[in-house]
Amino acid sequence: MLSAEHEALLEVLRRDLTLWRRLLGRFLDVALDEITLAEPVSESLGPVVPVERRADIVLSALRASERLVIVLEVQLRRDPEKRWVWPTYLAAARDRHRSAAILVVVVFDLGVARWAAEPIVLGPGLSAVHPLVLGPEDIPVVTDPGASAEELVISALAHGRGGEGMLIGEAAVASLARLDTDPRRIYTDLILSALAPAAQRHMETLMRSNYAYQSDLFRRLVSEGRQEGLEVGRQEGREEGREKGREEGWRAALRAGVVAVLEARGIVLTIDEHLRLGAEQDLVTLQRWLTQAATARSFAEAMRASA
């Protein structure tokens, strides 16, 4: 059974076939033309107990004017069962499409890549299936804001926990802004889940003005801030008090955000800086400080940069 994460990722990867032309063309060192989604291959264990197993993605392409079927399996973790079914996918693809077929396993972890690349021996004295593994070393780091969201999903999964995570997240913010709401939610959650905590917080900071706060960090900060604001409103007991409470809630959330982003980057505020942050009442100023906290080398620099 596919996990929700796996299903969401496959939905993303089926959307942009030009991504596969670039990735697989470079990986296979051959020009691939006319890439299309092919009829998925499956295996049935007979009419009595039919068990349907489908390959993740099947592509049909031209290679030097000859048809080539590419069976793509996206593997997020080790799964011994796949060592049994992958050869059947390959055989079914050759039979159904009457053309050469290859098995490419896409992985984002080096350990999983080594496991997936092991030959699958079909039996004593028989040949073996050698999966072609497209791993993190074969997937480029993408930091161009003009890149497609699909490219950035792949790049984040392969490199988001490394030193490039911050830049990948920044590029993703610009790319995701060009998407409609529904796919943007899926893409955003996939990318955020792939980033290291500091890069994740940095990306969340950049998106805070137009993101629906799907991540745990900002859901918590905004919720806590709103609760504090409601408490102020109850104490005041007037409409003015409720409005004041809502504003104080946002102030609390923004102040907590500044502290969280700076601490995630190894910057700890002094007592005087905490007092300065707590004394600031202007919402616009606090929003600017939160933005600058993602790149400033100190809290003082964040304040100066936004002045």
What is the per-residue pLDDT across 163-200, written as a single tens digit (0 to 9) for each? 889 889 989 988 988 887 778 888 998 999 999 988 88
Q: Is 187 in the same domain as 286?
A: no
- Which CATH number is 113's domain given? 3.40.1350
pLDDT at 6: 87
Handedness of CA 216, 221, 223, 224 (dihedral sign): positive
- Name the 3-class secondary structure at 8: helix
Q: In the listed set 104, 138, 172, which residue is the last one of a domain according to the structure?
A: 138
Q: Where would I find the H helices in the chain?
A: 4-13, 17-28, 82-97, 110-116, 149-159, 165-176, 181-194, 197-207, 216-236, 239-264, 271-279, 283-293, 299-305
49 and 115 assigned to the same domain: yes
My answer on whether 38 and 123 are in the same domain is yes
CA 199, CA 31: separation in Å to the nearest integer?
A: 35
Domain boundary among 120, 138, 156: 138
What pLDDT was estimated at residue 264?
Answer: 83
Distance between CA atoms of residues 179 and 174, nearest Å: 10
Specify whether 199 is located in the same domain as 232.
Answer: no
Question: Do 130 and 30 belong together in one domain?
Answer: yes
User: Which residue segment(s) compose the domain that 46 sits in?
Assistant: 4-138
Confidence at residue 223, expressed as pLDDT on a 0 to 100 scale: 52
Q: 220 and 192 share a domain?
A: no
Same domain, yes or no, for 154 and 41? no
**Rounded CA gap, 48 and 50, in Å?**
6
The answer to whether residues 52 and 104 belong to one domain is yes
Same domain, residue pair 127 and 151: no
Domains of the chain: total:
3
pLDDT, residue 306, reads 52
Instruction: Quote the pLDDT of residue 75.
Output: 94
Task: Enter the tokens of residue 239.
Answer: 């409409």
Q: What is the pLDDT along the chain (307 residues), one digit of tens a residue?
A: 467 788 888 888 888 888 898 899 889 888 888 889 887 777 554 444 444 568 899 999 988 888 999 999 999 999 999 999 999 999 999 998 899 999 999 999 999 999 999 999 988 877 899 999 999 999 999 999 889 999 999 999 999 998 889 889 989 988 988 887 778 888 998 999 999 988 888 888 777 644 444 445 444 554 555 455 445 445 544 445 555 666 777 778 788 888 888 888 888 888 778 878 888 888 888 888 888 888 888 888 888 865 5
Q: Which of residues 138, 166, 181 is at a domain's end?
A: 138
* Same domain, residue pair 150 and 231: no
According to DSSP, residue 160 is labeled: T
Model-wide pTM > 0.75: no
Q: Are residues 133 and 89 part of one domain?
A: yes
**Contact between residue 13 and residue 150 where contact means Cβ atoms under 8 Å apart:** yes
Mark whether 83 and 193 lie in a shared domain: no
